Structure 1
Amino acid sequence: MIAAVACAMACGTLAAQEAEFDLSSQRSEVQNVLPVTGKKLDHQGLIVNPMPHRMTVDRANVWNVSEGFALKDKQNKFANAFGFTTLDKKGVKLNVDFGGKAAAKAGVKEVSGAYMLRIDKKGVTIVGYDERGAFYGIQTLRQLLESPAVKDGELPYMDINDYPDLPNRGVVEGFYGTPWSHAVRLSLIDFYGKFKMNTYLYGPKDDPYHSCPNWRLPYPEKEAQNIKELIEACNRNYVDFVWAIHPGQDIKWNEEDYNNLVNKFNLMYDLGVRHFAIFFDDISGEGTNPYKQTELLNRLTDEFVKEKGDVSPLTVCPTDYSKLWANPTPKGSLAIYGNTMNPEIKVFWTGDVVCSDLTPETLEFVDSRIKRPAYYWWNYPVTDYARNFLLQGPVYGLDTSLTDKETCGVVSNPMEHGEASKLALYGVADYTWNVAAYNPIDNWERGLGELAPDAREAYRTFAIHSCDTETGYRRDESWETKTFRLADWSDQAAQALEDEFERIEKVPAQMEQGCSNNLLKGELRPWLVEFGKLGTRGKQAIELARIYRAGNDDAGFWNKYVQNLMDADDRKAFEEHKSGTLKLQPFYLNIMDDMAFGFLKKLTGETPKQYKGIGSFSNSTTVLSKLMLDNDLNTHYTSGIGQKPNDWIGVDLRDVRDVNAVTIIQGRNSVDDVDYFDHAVVQYSADGKTWKPLTEELTKQYDINWKGDAVKARYIRLLRLDSDRKNYASVRSFEVNPLTPDNLGFAVKAEEPAKAVFAFDQNLETSYLSKGTLTFEVSQGVKGYVLLMNKLSAPITCKQLDKDGKVVSETMLNTAFAKVEIASDKVVSLSLEGTAEIFEVVTKK
């Protein structure tokens, strides 16, 4: 149950979970980027996570704990829990106890995990309601000793009375993709324990013995030993290891498969598992039958859980785990669960959609049907739907008014990058422990110091610009950074942004030198490399803009401009490891485009044909729309949100023009893709208000080609008409007046004539890579040309030819910006020989 499901829904690959219930109609994602809430607090050097419910500090009195503690472990349970400090008979007295009587005397709340920690003239006292509570008190002491205020060994007196708000708090390893390594899992389990998370659900989708078809088979010896070690690590950290099985895709509702399931449970029980879950998510067919599911769960409860005596109640992930496609009626799976399933069984829920905020409204919807507090499976910071991103932002979108009456717990589904997920898990631990006091920004600021204490500022710079996903579950990013368009330039804003890009440029080296967490660095490194490059090109873009604004050095501007362009390899590397996509990379792309547009307009005196994407979708005017204007059918613009009535996708021609041809290619392919307008019309407008049709109504048409008498238009759009389709909308190409060798107006000879026209299309976002000879006709009255090229690897030869093809003049061009004066009126064509990427050939009359 992860975000990949949303993509599957968009592609139409999931079957209906219940008869006559149409999943493909249930798209309702939103693309709102909501701001992070909270503020940074001054903890005066004492950092504890999760935030305790009650904590008072007497800084006037302190213990010097530099020689460690004299431990009195009254029940002999925690001798191995103090690896973070020194145990010495001469140290400060440390008493640890737990149990109902001791807890009642100490005023500890009667809930599992509750504890009291007191530091006074008698020393340090920790009392837990239960053994787990005492362990949590020890973890609080551990964090206090690691706090900046105690670095010199001066531990102040204090009273802490603390307890968890939610009974289930932790992590579900439930993502698609590369499962965590054994080392990362062990590291994470220690992390869970330290920050008082009590649940680790083991259910990696790519574990073949967790899911179909091998769920019936025992684990091989090595894998079984690894699981045993994970259970032992969980036991040391007072974490419930919950082993999940995913049998629904091929389960047979018969006695044989029931016995197969019980046999597998017994094998896992023998390895030490005492907590079990069954996942019926992301399946189709007979396995989705809710009556059969509840019958199985109830029987397992009676014949396995209760018979064993030491196994906790089961957890189930239903097939209808999201309001996105859950049948809300009394005949729906959720209502059947509520009416027929043992009330002790916990039921997972992801919210309104697959990846969504935790709200009272979504819990009211599910709780009223399943008749118990839902178990919230939060699909964050999972990125299996956007694997080229790392989510390093604050944990927010979790309502702080909720209690255990509305939800029995929250587990986070993290990224396949386990160490990089810790920043988010630090927040989940804080929220689930002390819901009402949760402060997203403050938690994030503390978490940065926990994960990279010696490189905190560098890590913070990377993290604040590595939060969003561009599409899907949107997150705020770069909220401290102000970007702008070229038209809104101010020297002060430019300097501030340049300073930030310079900080970004230095981050990779600072992390390599300062971050001691090698596992974290290993996961971050590919992103850090690209992040540093983003800093360089952003800084250079601002330097370039100063030259552009001065306006007195065309050659100098252009030569530096092409040096700051991303080539195909740069773009590929950035696409694979993206960051800064909400503000920083768009700033770079936009200011480069703005300068190119203004520069070409200056040289030609005309409005360039550098068109812009527009539309009804929230991302229509972002840099994503460039993907339908890049002359590359392997890329596409996508709405990233389900289409609805009157949606449209179009282009702004930047000026009113004569339009006589429009070519639109919808979908990610033109055969069977579902992300397109299957009922639409092409329209035009001169003012963006009054629209007229160019075509008849189009039905199920991927490739649209209109030609006709010229109309005056600045805007062209494809408008969605009545349709039941709610998939995304995608466009691979949107061309207006496509330029061809036949309509160019003069003769061109080249190895690829259809592509050579890009050198004459009055658009610096396109180019032609000439690897041999490009020859073009010199029109009457032309006095010369300005050639705007990319960096030259070697000089090219420019020949001016007469009508017989004889050379009138020959020069060598060795700079990206080159001026060519026509030698005489005998010249009828110009020939460029050599390898050059030509952005535009500008005619001078």
Structure 2
Amino acid sequence: MKMNHYVKCVTAGIVCSLMYGNVCAQDTFDLSSQRSEKQDVQAVPGKKVDHKGLILNPQPHQIVTMAGKTCNLSQGINLKDKQDKFAGYLDFLSPNKKGVKLTIDFGQKVASKANVKAVSGAYALVVNEKGITITGFDERGAFYGIQTLKQLVESPVSSGSALPFVEISDYPDLPNRGVVEGFYGTPWSHEVRLSLIDFYGKFKMNSYLYGPKDDPYHSCPNWRLPYPEKEAQHIKELVNACNRNYVDFVWAIHPGQDIKWNEEDYQNLINKFNWMYDLGVRHFAIFFDDISGEGTNPLKQTELLNRLTEEFVKVKGDVSPLTVCPTDYSKLWANPTEKGSLAIYGKTLNPEIKVFWTGDVVCSDLTPETLDFINSRIKRPAYYWWNYPVTDYIRNFLLQGPVYGLDTSLTANETCGIVSNPMEHGEASKLALYGVADYTWNIADYNAIDNWERGLAELVPEATDAYRTFAIHSSDTENGYRRDESWETQTFRLADWTDEAANALEEEFKKVESAPARLESSCKNAALINELRPWLTEFGKLGTRGKQAIELARIYRSGKDDALFWEKYIQNIMTPEDRRSYEAHKSGTLKLQPFYENAMDDMAHGYLKKLSGKVPTDYRGIGSFSSAHTVQTKLMFDNDSTTFYTSGIAQKANDWIGVDLRDVRDVTEISILQGRNSKDDVDYFDHAIVECSADGRTWKALTGELDKQYIIHWQGAPEKARYVRLKRLDSKRTNYASVRSFDVNPLRPENMGFSLEADSLDKAIYAFDNNLATSYKSTKALTFGVKENVKAYTLLMNRPSAPLKCIQLDKKGKVVSETMIETPFARIELANKNVAKIRLEGTAEVFEIVAID
């Protein structure tokens, strides 16, 4: 359950909408309202705990240790498997008839004597002078006791085979705890699924819902057809793996987009269920999410589910109650009235059927309030589908942060279970799933930070610190469902520099720089490294850039060597290729990347101001959205109409997007491109006005009311202004707002005040736009007229691959002077007053040619 065709990750890396369109005729369904509306970055709760070497996950409900007393396992164990079920699960212990006695049993009678809670999965584990005893309420409970014993044996406290005396009484808080493979994008490989199933069993998760949107036999177009032989064999193997791990394999079908509410399609569904039953499936779900058309009819949905319950589930006898994902799975667009589909579910749906719910929005926290809303309508505890750590709406991110946002006061009375929808990167999802397993088992005692710290060590014990460095800076989503990131790192703006803060941040960037190599050389999980590698590559580069930005800032602050500063500056900027690579695999977006970009921009601004003696025209984005205060707004000024700034949340009354001109200027022309394109995009202000202000408080309208205009252009008499904005007027639109470009006083060759000759005049102006964020790549020659009273020019370039010839010409075109330029920073002194033009011959990237009076 995540949004389909409407998300795309553009070159700029800003994710705007919903998802990738090969899922059966979704292109007619506008899912634009189905995105998270929360932008607040909440701090991670909890703290790291000293577990005294006893590392268990999930955290048991009750554990009592006896200090100083241990059970010696060096001679192995003498197994008393009362029901002959578990010998194959004890490969972590050596069998020996003379070893420590290990007794395993389960059943209500023995469980009652051992004071085991009467809940499926509950168990007691006792280690004392008599040996080791595991008692399960049921078979699954005994299996869970074995998993706890294994973790106990592997804990540091048990080094040297000295198992501490311990009494554990444990049980799950929720009956359903697990994972739904329900994301859009590349489904997991068979090998990854098998690896994850073992992971579920190890950490006591009992549900795996198989529902990858891009499996055509789960959804359109082939849900009516049986799986081909190879795929069917894989399903069998997954079922068997789940059975070994005491995990319910729940096969889900997604028929709603083209289902016909007739007898033929009912029989098609029955046939498909029977085929899956023959493959070993005993748990089934039907998804009606992310569809349009007649399949959304809630009465037809419940009629179908009820009939399947009577004619399939009950007839088979060994099939569990069905699970359903309704079309209205989020409060964001659900009809809350008695006529809404959720209320219809409550009135008509068999009470045994579990109903999924994602919360207030698609990606959102689990709160008592959202459960009150849904439960009062569906008349049962909802089954919470948590869209975390899924990234199908931000596929250029990996989410490696702590699991939090889940209320710790909840019980099974409010939710019958929780499943996590992970990333398409299965191994990289394990860190989050480690937390989900912990929370769903023991809700009240859940500690997000401590769980994350334990999870890092569990997954990468060989290089935990390096993995932690990557993970703590790879947690946020940048927009949508925000996650805390880099919470131990303090960044700053250049104006707030202190040597102490700079030194500390420099050390962190050095750790970031070295983390990828440390992980590559030490981590034994090759599958995890393969998933992380593209992000690790860019992460290491970010560390280098950040470290060099601090080194550069020291040169800048000294103000002593303009040439040295420029040499180091151009070495530390991102090329377009660098930026594309970074945007494709992002990390550090909450603090590290903004520090780097802000520091480089602030230094460029101050440096150019010093050289030119005037305020540069490196405009800054501003606005009412929280994302307007981030580096994302730079996408409005990158001279690339395929990239765009996006609000990241729904637009509302009085929202606006604008430009800070950095100084009061005469504004004579404004050009704005709204939306992600100019055809049928929904992310724009459809009713708006352009305004300007000198002080940011008093605004003057420059246009009348603009109705449904992607392309906006204004020209007029000069207006004194520092700020220009596009303001939303009365509208029913609740989409995001996006702007591709926001040009104020766009520079043109004809209004530069001097002659210009180049291969591309439209691009050559970037060498004279008083803005170091732009540049011109000259391949042959660049010739410009010398303005009156100019005595010299400072040339700021990238390092030339070969020397440039600088020719000074008089009005008749006669050569006055000819020199060679080999350095990126050069000062061109005019030979005499007769110089009228300067021609630069050769290949060079020119950032700015600064006139010196």
Query: TM-score, normalising length from structure 1?
Result: 0.98
Q: Which amino acid aligns with 1:2?
A: K
Superposition map of 1:274-673 within 5 A: 274-673=282-681
RMSD: 1.6
> How far, CA to CA, are the matches of 1:206 and 1:77 in structure 2?
37
- Cα distance in structure 1, aligned partners of 2:159 and 2:555: 50
Other-structure match for 2:685? 677
Aligned: 1:226 with 2:224: no
The structure 2 residue matched to 1:824, chosen from 832, 850, 853, is: 832
Sort the Cα spacing of 1:24 and 1:197 in 2 relative to 1 into closer, same or farther, 3 A. closer
Letter in 2 for 1:211: S
Find the counterpart in structure 2 of residue 146 from structure 1: 154
CA contact (8 A) 1:54 1:160 kept: yes
* DSSP 3-state at the match of 2:40: coil
1:737 is aligned to 745
Q: CA deviation at 1:67?
A: 3.3
Tell me if structure 1 keeps the 8 A contact 2:3–2:19. no
Secondary structure of the residue aligned to 2:426 is: coil
Q: Report the Cα distance in structure 1 between the residues aligned to 2:799 and 2:121, rounded to whole angstroms.
A: 65
1:28 and 1:205 map into 2 onto residues whose CA distance is 20
Whether contact under 8 Å (1:360, 1:399) holds in the other structure is yes
1:27 deviation in Å?
6.4
Could you report, residue by residue, the CA deviation over 1:275-332 in whole angstroms, capped at 9, with x for unpaired residues? 0001111111111111111111001100110111110000000011111111111111
**Partner in structure 2 of residue 271 of structure 1:** 279
CA deviations 1:414-440 (Å, max 9, x no partner) are 000000000000000000000011110
2:173 aligns to what?
165
Contact 1:113 1:132 in 2 (8 A): yes
Match of 2:11 in 1: none
Does structure 2 conserve the Cα–Cα contact (< 8 Å) formed by 1:11 and 1:675?
Answer: no
Deviating more after overlay: 415-424 vs 62-71: 62-71
Aligned residue in 2 for 1:837: 845
Is structure 2 residue 74 aligned with structure 1 residue 51? no
Query: 1:178: which partner in 2?
Result: 186
**What do residues 218-263 of structure 1 show as CA deviations (whole Å, max 9, x unaligned)?**
1111111111011110000000000001111111111111111111
Q: State the alpha-carbon separation in 1 of the partners of residues 362 and 276 from structure 2.
A: 30
What is the CA–CA distance in structure 1 between the aligned matches of 2:59 and 2:367, rounded to whole Å? Answer: 22
Match 1:773 to one of 740, 756, 781? 781
Amino acid at match of 1:272: G
Please state if 1:187 is matched with 2:187: no
| Aligned-pair CA distance for 1:398 | 0.4
8 Å CA contact retained: 2:5, 2:18 = no
The answer to whether the 8 A contact 1:95-1:124 is kept is yes
2:737 and 2:820 map into 1 onto residues whose CA distance is: 48
Is 1:2 the counterpart of 2:10? The answer is no
Structure 1 letter corresponding to 2:734:
K
Instruction: Indicate how the Cα distance of structure 1 residues 534 and 141 shifts in structure 2: closer, same or farther if over 3 A, else same.
Output: same
Give the secondary-structure state (helix, strand or coil) at the position aligned to 1:428: helix
| Residue 127 in structure 1 maps to residue 135 in structure 2 | yes
SS of alignment partner, residue 689 of structure 1: coil
The reply on whether 1:207 has 2:215 as its aligned counterpart is yes
CA contact (8 A) 1:10 1:727 kept: no
Distance apart, 1:6 and its partner CA: 7.2
What is the number of residues matched between the two proteins? 841
Q: Residue type of the partner of 2:449?
A: I
How far did residue 807 of structure 1 move? 1.4
What is the match of residue 110 of structure 2? 102
- Asked if 1 retains the 8 angstrom alpha-carbon contact of 2:795 and 2:825, the reply is yes
- Asked if structure 2 preserves the Cα contact closer than 8 Å seen for 1:216 and 1:261, the reply is yes
1:779-798 equivalent positions in 2, closer than 5 A: 779-798=787-806
Matched, 1:760 2:765: no
1:29-108 superposed matches below 5 A: 29-108=37-116
Partners of 2:380 and 2:112 lie apart in 1 by: 30
The offset of 1:672, in angstroms, is 1.4
Confirm or deny: 8 A CA contact 2:687 2:706 kept in the other structure: yes
* Unmatched 5+ stretches in structure 1: none
**CA distance in 1 between partners of 2:210 and 2:802 (Å):** 58
Per the alignment, residue 755 of structure 2 pairs with: 747
Name the amino acid aligned to 1:816: P
Contact 2:35–2:363, Cα closer than 8 Å, also in 1: no
What amino acid maps onto 1:364 in structure 2? Answer: D
Specify the SS of the correspondent of 1:675.
coil
- Aligned residues of 1:662 and 1:736 also touching (Cα < 8 A): yes
Q: d(CA) in 1 for partners of 2:790 and 2:34?
A: 60
Provide the rounded CA distance (Å) in 2 between the counterparts of 1:25 and 1:140: 44
The secondary structure found in structure 2 opposite 1:151 is helix
Q: Deviations over 1:83-141 (max 9, x none)?
A: 22222223221111100111001000000000000000001110000000000000001
Equivalent position SS for 1:501: helix
1:151 is displaced (CA, Å) by 2.6
TM-score under structure 2 length normalisation: 0.97
Gaps of 5+ in 2: 9-15
Give SS of 1:658's match: strand
Give the letter aligned to residue 150 of structure 1: S
Change (3 A) 1:148 1:703: same
Structure 1 counterpart of 2:730: 722
Name the SS of the counterpart of 1:213 in structure 2: coil
Instruction: Check the 8 A contact 1:106/1:127 in 2, yes or no.
Output: yes
For 1:209 and 1:763, locate their aligned partners in 2 and report how far apart those are by CA, in whole Å. 54
Q: CA deviation at 1:545?
A: 0.4
Residues of 1 paired with 2:389 and 2:4: CA distance?
13
Name the CA shift for 1:596/1:13 in 2 (closer, same or farther; >3 Å): closer
Contact 2:4–2:20, Cα closer than 8 Å, also in 1: no
| 1:63 and 1:154 in contact (8 A); partners too | yes
Match status 1:242 vs 2:250 = yes
Q: 1:476 to 1:123 in 2, by over 3 A?
A: same
Shift in CA distance, 505/27, structure 1 to aligned 2, threshold 3 Å:
closer
Aligned AA for 1:494?
A
CA displacement at 1:516 relative to structure 2? 0.6
What is the Cα deviation at residue 152 of structure 1? 2.1
Q: Distance in 1 between matches of 2:517 and 2:98?
A: 44
SS of the equivalent of 1:159 reads strand
Partner of 2:299, secondary structure, is: helix
Q: Is the alpha carbon distance of 1:230 and 1:217 closer, same or farther for their aligned partners in structure 2, counting shifts above 3 Å?
A: same
Q: Deviations over 1:761-812 (max 9, x none)?
A: 1111111111111000011211110001112222111111111212111111
SS at match of 1:842: strand
Counterpart contact for 2:780–2:842, Cα < 8 Å: yes
Give the secondary structure class of the aligned counterpart of 2:521: helix
